[in-house]
Amino acid sequence: MSAIHPSELTFIIRHAPFDSMELEHVMWMLERMHLAYYAQGEIIASPEQGEATRMWVIKQGVVLGEQSVAKASDSDTWLELMEGECFPLGALLAKRRVASIYRAGSDTFCYELAAADFHTLLGMSAPFRDFCTRRIANLLEHSKHVIQAEFSHSSAEQQSLASPLSAIIRRAPVTCAPDTTVQAALEIMREQRIGSMVATDQQGHPLGILTLHDVLERVAIPQIDTAQAVINIMSTELSSLPPHALAHEAALLMARRGFRHVLVVEEHKLIGLLSEKDLFALQRVGLRQIGSTIRHADTPEVLQQAAADIRHMAHNMMAQGVAPEQLTQFISTFNDLLTARVVELECAAACPSGDPLHESICWMALGSEGRLEQTLKTDQDNAIIFKVPEGMTANQVREKLLPLARRINETLDRCGFPLCKGEIMASNPKWCLSREEWQEVFTKWVDSGAPESLLHATIFFDFRALYGAEYLVEQLRAWLTDHVRGNQRFLHQMAANSLRNRPPLGIVRDFIVGQGNTIDLKLNGITPFVDAARIFSLATGVGKTNTVQRLRASAAALRVPATEVEAWINAFLFIQMLRLRHHYEEASAQLPDGETRHLDNRIDPAQLNELDRRILKEAFRQARKVQAKLALDYQL
């Protein structure tokens, strides 16, 4: 056992996970550690050494991870570890050899702990074990607590949005038989002091719902015969979710469909009923109110105000600590509603008497909107797909649709969604096409597209139906999935393009920075994950467009362990969180008179706190691991 110097203890408890471990466990570890020196360029660990024999904690210097035994260079170094970081945790946990070469990037001192002691410590210390098994997830938990401390708002809303519906149900549902009279049902509602009544059959299957709002519209105003069966006046278009669904899913469902209640159903049996009041002590965000305003808007001016409300809602939710995956879904869902209403209003204005043509067209979302990953900074990426009616040509249909598409794009621009500088919009004749023409475009890209043309076409593979004849988009997606799957030339080119955009990790410095010592979080942080997930989904026939869903759905077919995929996802979401927080801070900042607000994706990593810098480095490493998977699969 080595004697412990006070400076060693001071150093070690400054870094995760040792800062959250019990002191006696830290002391036990330090007593068994030895300090070792490695000269610059010296190999610390490599696959050739066999099973990992120790854990290293860097006291001073830099350790580089390499994919080859060659001396580190920009091309082969994918990992950079700094003071306070430990390695190789994955190899020690699995009792295997390391997958990379760890080399001293400068004269380096490391504390070393034998593998046997490492495994003993895993059993002794829960924080240490949790950190080692959930490295990036654990770091993200640290960061989340720091972020919540930065904001003065309560985080109770985040907790409720992340809770399963089963945890929110406050009482057993009050039900009645479908042949109960309206009068009897109303009396029960009054006695029980409830705002809704659900009719169920003898097996507990929900058949209809009556709310206080319905009572006014369907009973009081029309003065119906209250002796009739209540099922006759109930809403039978029911909205339900299973008990394990999360509160944010119920919130999205209410927002999309304008309902005030969601049934909680397990194995077709009603077990609970949730109102928006149950879901939201978050009423100040006004989710349903915004959705209702959008659905009933009859002028572009009303929609402009609704767009401002969406951004205000996003600011509030960001301040309250709502997770990035949920927040981007909320933003995208409300933007969907707004866009759909703009399309609906413009279609009605163009042809007040109705036009059968509108029943055979679909407005498509592309890019981040297509992936349901919009932030506070977003421009327009959209297109139209249509079916050519009998007796018309595609050009005739397009000629009729382009003026309408232009008005829609211009209205969306007034609502705060800038026109796409690259003109990837439905008003561009190149992106207002019949189903057959879309197939021709994709065939050209997939079968004979040059790398440069594919580089600009990637966002089109994220298409999603937003309004109109959704079956056209479903048909196009099914056709594309069949056409792409197994096309190695196309996938190889897509992968090669993706690998041209490397995460900005430096060898000498933590990060490679660009203009103004900043990093573009969208281009250099988000895009590597988005590109890889797109390629994985196309290769495995996954029809999802959302990056997280694509990664999870394609993992099994690609034989990627679930823990590895979750680390990729956590890294992606952390970078999204940094983007959202950056946009929030930019949008909240006071501007000098006369200046226009422009949100961007560039941050100065030197301005981040130490924890967020460390997690950002880890997130970029995960991006490199995703790219390493691409390089391995396509021999690049």
pLDDT band at 130 (very low <50, low <70, confident <90, very high): confident
Q: What would the pLDDT profile of 56-73 be if each residue is shown by its tens digit?
A: 999 999 898 775 433 333
The tally of CA atoms less than 13 A away on the side-chain side of residue 384 is 31
Interior/surface letters 57-70, b for 16+ CB within 10 angstroms, e for the rest: bbbebbbbbbbeee
The answer to whether 276 and 204 are in contact (CB under 8 A) is no
One-letter amino acid of 341: R
DSSP string, 303-345: HHHHHHHHHHHHHHHHHTT--HHHHHHHHHHHHHHHHHHHHHH
Residue 593 DSSP code: T
Confidence of residue 449 (pLDDT cuts 50, 70, 90): confident
Contact assessment for residue 462 and residue 480, using Cβ atoms and an 8 Å cutoff: no
Q: What is the maximum alpha-carbon separation in the chain?
A: 92
Query: Which residues make Cβ contacts (< 8 Å) with residue 429, sequence separation at least 6?
Result: 398, 402
The neighbour count for residue 369, using CB atoms within 10 Å, is 26
**Beta-carbon count within 10 A of 527 CB:** 18
Euclidean distance between CA atoms 441 and 63, whole angstroms: 47
In the structure encoding, which two tokens stand for residue 166, read together?
């089963």
Burial class (CB in 10 A: 0-12, 13-18, 19+), 132: buried
Determine the Cα–Cα distance for residues 296 and 112; give it in Å rounded to an integer: 66
Q: What is the pTM for the complete model shown?
A: 0.65
- pLDDT over 70 for what percent of the chain? 87
Predicted local confidence at residue 155, as pLDDT = 40
CA angle (369, 372, 377) in 5-degree steps: 55
- How does DSSP classify residue 217? I
- The residue-averaged pLDDT of 341-363 equals 80
Residue that the structure tokens 């369907």 belong to: 218
Tens digits of per-residue pLDDT, 469-516? 999 999 999 999 999 988 899 999 999 999 999 999 875 567 888 888
**Tens of pLDDT along 327-342?**
888 888 889 999 999 9
Average pLDDT in the chain:
85
**Averaged over 458-471, what is the pLDDT?**
94
- How much is the average pLDDT of 576-598? 75
Cross-strand bridge partners of residue 565: none
Residue of 386, 415, 229 whose CA lies nearest to 311:
415
Beta bridge partners of 114: 54
Whether the per-residue pLDDT at 262 is higher than 80: the answer is yes
Tens of pLDDT, residue by residue over 162-195, are: 678 887 776 778 899 999 999 999 999 888 878 8
Task: Please state which of the ranges 31-40, 131-140, 264-273 shows the lowest mean pLDDT.
Answer: 131-140
State how far the Cα of 490 lies from the Cα of 461, in Å rounded to an integer. Answer: 13
Q: In the chain, what percentage of residues exceed pLDDT 90?
A: 46
Instruction: Give pLDDT tens digits for 369-385.
Output: 999 898 877 889 999 99
Segments in 458-545 forming alpha helices (H): 470-484, 488-498, 527-540
> What is the chain's alpha carbon radius of gyration, rounded to the nearest angstrom?
28
Using DSSP's 3-state secondary structure scheme, residue 128 falls into helix
Report which listed range, 93-97, 149-153, 521-525, is most confident. 521-525
Indicate the Cα dihedral angle 616, 621, 625, 628, nearest 10°.
120
pLDDT-derived band at 427 (thresholds 50, 70, 90) equals: very high
- Contacting residues for 95 by C-beta, under 8 A, at least 6 apart: 51, 52, 115
Long-range contacts formed by 610-613: CB under 8 A, 24+ apart: 611/16, 611/139, 611/142, 611/143, 611/146, 612/143, 612/146, 612/578, 613/510
The strand pair at 196-200 and 175-176 is best described as: parallel
CA 78 to chain centre: 25
Helix and strand numbers (H, E) in the chain are 24, 20
Token reading at 26: 């830290």
**In the predicted structure, residue 363 carries a pLDDT above the cut 60:** yes
Which residues, in sequence order, are CB contacts of 265 under 8 Å at separation 6+? 206, 240, 241, 242, 271
- In angstroms, the Cα distances linking 308 to 290, 296, 597, 600 are 10, 16, 14, 18
Alpha-carbon span 393 to 399, nearest angstrom:
10
Query: Which structural domains are found in the chain, ordered by start?
Result: 6-133 (2.60.120.10), 165-281 (3.10.580.10)
Can you say whether the dihedral through the CA atoms of 317, 322, 328, 333 is positive or negative? negative
Listed in sequence order, the residues at least 6 apart from 4 whose beta carbon sits closer than 8 Å to its beta carbon are: 27, 30, 31
> Which tokens belong to 146?
């720091």
